Amino acid sequence: MSPVAVFAPQLSVSALQARLRTSEGSRGAAEMDALPFEAGARLARGSWSPVAGSRAQVRREEVAGAATTIALAQFRPELLEGVKAIEQLSSVPERSGDAERQLNSVIGRLVVALRDVCGWTLRGDVLGSGFKRGPGGLSNTTLNPNNSRYVGLHLDSWDRLPARERHRGQNRVCLNLGSGPRGLQFVPLTAMEMSLRLDDLGSAVVDRCGGVREGDLARRFLRCFPYEPVLRITTLPGEAYIAPTENVVHDGCTLDTSGPDVTLTIRGHFEPS
Ligand SMILES: [Fe+2]
């Protein structure tokens, strides 16, 4: 049983399973890929298939903890309209100051609403937030601004925690403000579990399969375990996911929409109350 579960009490089990897809594992990025990827990037492999019941790892009622839970939340339309208006304002350079002030206020309202719609609260302060706009139709969405290449499946590292302490890291709310569905692809394992499984392999095997011991935990694990399934969950317009992105390997996916991909991300320590 995977330690990472999906929590969406507003959906029936069958509706939630309909939102989930699984791939056959992961593979290294190649020259022929449609996007320019960093060297060593790992991507979901093969086609996306429906998830059979026992593999869905779905819990609707019970939340194990923020570090191992991906939650879905749906916000009220009137609140979403306000957020979208601020996103539009933020793209006008001379109004960006207004947008920033309004964003701080609307984030406060979103945090309150989150408690009402799915029972999650923010412990401490918001650690960061921002709108992001990108194209639809992409297998992967995270771009490294330093080299303009896509990073593929990865762990976020805002907190710079070692592998076995990543469960203490921040998580994030990512609200889909676009007009189409967007996916969160993820490997349903914690950083702790990946680290333990690499240790179980032993350093000689890790080296042999190209998963050098130093460096990036996500890529090293996926090279050593290429058949570890990658799951994908869909958020519809107006929905947000809350995900432990420091602790669970992930990336965005906009394959199912042609329109611009627009999101608002709020980073902090969100937890089930
Ligand atoms: Fe990320």
Q: pLDDT 10s digit of each residue in the chain, 273 long? A: 457 888 888 888 889 889 999 999 999 999 889 999 999 999 999 899 998 754 445 554 455 689 999 999 999 999 999 999 999 988 888 787 888 889 999 999 999 999 999 899 999 999 999 999 999 999 999 999 999 999 999 999 999 999 999 999 999 999 999 999 999 999 999 999 999 999 998 887 777 777 666 679 999 999 999 999 999 999 999 999 999 999 999 999 999 999 899 999 999 999 998
Centre of ligand 1 to C-alpha 8, Å, is 21
- The pLDDT score that the predictor gives to residue 93 is 80
Non-local CB neighbours of 66 within 8 Å, separated by 6+ positions: 120, 171, 242, 244, 269, 270, 271, 272
**Residue for token digits 């706009």?**
133
Centre of ligand 1 to C-alpha 248, Å, is 9
- The pLDDT score that the predictor gives to residue 53 is 56
Centre of ligand 1 to C-alpha 245, Å, is 6
Centre of ligand 1 to C-alpha 68, Å, is 16
Q: Round to whole Å and give the CA distance between 48 and 223.
A: 20
Stated pTM of the model: 0.93
Centre of ligand 1 to C-alpha 213, Å, is 22
Give how far Cα 228 sits from Cα of 43, 66, 188, 231, 249, Å: 12, 22, 9, 10, 12
Centre of ligand 1 to C-alpha 164, Å, is 18
Centre of ligand 1 to C-alpha 19, Å, is 20
Centre of ligand 1 to C-alpha 273, Å, is 25
Centre of ligand 1 to C-alpha 35, Å, is 17
Cα dihedral value 138, 140, 143, 144, nearest 10: -150
Centre of ligand 1 to C-alpha 234, Å, is 16
Centre of ligand 1 to C-alpha 250, Å, is 6
Centre of ligand 1 to C-alpha 128, Å, is 14
Centre of ligand 1 to C-alpha 52, Å, is 26
Centre of ligand 1 to C-alpha 160, Å, is 13
